[in-house]
């Protein structure tokens, strides 16, 4: 991105005129806003995919029948015992 090192007029006192960082007239802040927005959106999409996978696993466990609470505790105990050795 060209022109980021070029001095820009300050926006002191004008912050009340803008609703957020994305509207400020500084190019560097606009780029930073776009990068953080993209990162947040990607993280949210990744989290949603993970939640969907967990829900699929949950549905499979429920479909098996039996005491799902005991099965989940058994899985957690295995996980915790593996983590102790790492």
CA separation (Å) from 85 to 16, 72, 74, 75? 55, 21, 17, 16
pLDDT above 80: residue 83: no
**pLDDT, tens digit, 9 for 90 and up, residues 15-66:** 555 566 666 667 777 788 888 889 999 999 999 999 999 899 888 888 888 7
State the pTM of this model: 0.52
DSSP class per residue in 11-79: -TT-GGG-SSGGGSS-HHHHHHHHHHHHHHHHHHHHHHHHHHHHHHHHHHHHHH-S-HHHHHHHHHHHH
- 27-64 and 68-84 helices cross at what angle (nearest 10)? 120
pLDDT of residue 17: 57
């Amino acid at each position: 991105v060209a022109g980021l090192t070029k001095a820009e007029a300050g926006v002191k006192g004008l912050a009340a005129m803008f609703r957020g960082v994305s509207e400020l007239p500084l190019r560097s802040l606009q780029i930073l806003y776009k990068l953080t927005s993209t990162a947040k959106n990607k993280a949210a999409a990744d989290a949603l995919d993970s939640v969907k996978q967990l829900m699929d696993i949950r549905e499979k466990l429920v479909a098996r029948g039996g005491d799902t609470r005991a099965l989940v505790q058994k899985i957690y105990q295995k996980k915790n015992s593996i983590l102790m050795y790492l």
